[in-house]
């Protein structure tokens, strides 16, 4: 009387945890509880599959007027907020590490000014980090979920 166990959802969440911790040094703990990020990621994946099977939704102006399109945008917003939060945390960790490192050695005033200017002009880097982190956190999980949906 043993029921089969679907391990794909667990493997998908495990993959997300491993990728986030390995690539970005953060713990998502997606296996412990339903997180808003994981739920948004699942919804985005389902919506993409839904949209792919309906050619009339391939036109953005039509798709984004529907409830599916509005929900898709909302879920992307959740994913973006999470990614921006991760980038900010990593940036703060990096700045704290380098500020400790800077106080360990003597620095001239020119070095301090240059170091401060470098640290305060990171807005371009933030968008670069966002693109890399967003794609890194979604690619492997999306692939796993696509494989799950075919079975």
Nearest to 11 by CA among 125, 140, 136, 129: 140
pLDDT at 76: 96
Q: Higher-confidence residue: 134 or 61? A: 61
Instruction: Evaluate if residue 8 carries a pLDDT over 70.
Output: yes
What burial class does residue 72 get, using C-beta atoms within 10 Å of its C-beta: 0-12 exposed, 13-18 middle, 19+ buried?
buried
pLDDT at 48: 97
pLDDT at 99: 78
Instruction: Evaluate if residue 150 carries a pLDDT over 50.
Output: no
pLDDT at 57: 96
pLDDT at 131: 63
User: Each residue of 16-67: pLDDT tens digit?
Assistant: 889 888 887 788 888 877 788 889 988 999 999 999 999 999 999 999 999 9
Instruction: Evaluate if residue 89 carries a pLDDT over 50.
Output: yes
What is the pLDDT averaged over residues 3-24? 87
How large a percentage of the chain has pLDDT more than 70? 66
Contacts 24+ apart (CB under 8 A), 7-16: 8/144, 8/147, 8/148, 8/151, 9/148, 11/144, 12/141, 12/144, 12/145, 12/148, 13/38, 15/140, 15/141, 15/144, 16/41, 16/137, 16/140, 16/141
Query: What tokens were used for 43?
Result: 């919804």
Instruction: Evaluate if residue 106 carries a pLDDT over 60.
Output: no
């Amino acid at each position: 009387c043993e029921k089969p166990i679907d391990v794909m959802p667990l493997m998908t969440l495990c993959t997300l945890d491993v990728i986030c911790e390995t690539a970005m040094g953060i713990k998502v703990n997606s296996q412990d509880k339903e997180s808003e990020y994981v739920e948004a990621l699942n919804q985005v994946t389902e919506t993409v599959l839904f949209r792919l099977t309906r050619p009339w939704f391939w036109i953005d102006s039509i798709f984004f007027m529907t409830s599916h399109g509005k929900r898709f945008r909302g879920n992307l917003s959740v994913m973006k907020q999470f990614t921006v939060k991760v980038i900010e945390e990593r940036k703060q960790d990096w700045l704290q590490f380098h500020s400790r490192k800077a106080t360990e050695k003597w620095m001239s005033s020119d070095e301090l000014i240059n170091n401060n200017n470098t640290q305060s002009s990171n807005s371009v880097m933030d968008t670069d980090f966002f693109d890399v982190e967003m794609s890194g956190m979604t690619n492997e999980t999306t692939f796993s979920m696509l494989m799950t949906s075919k079975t």
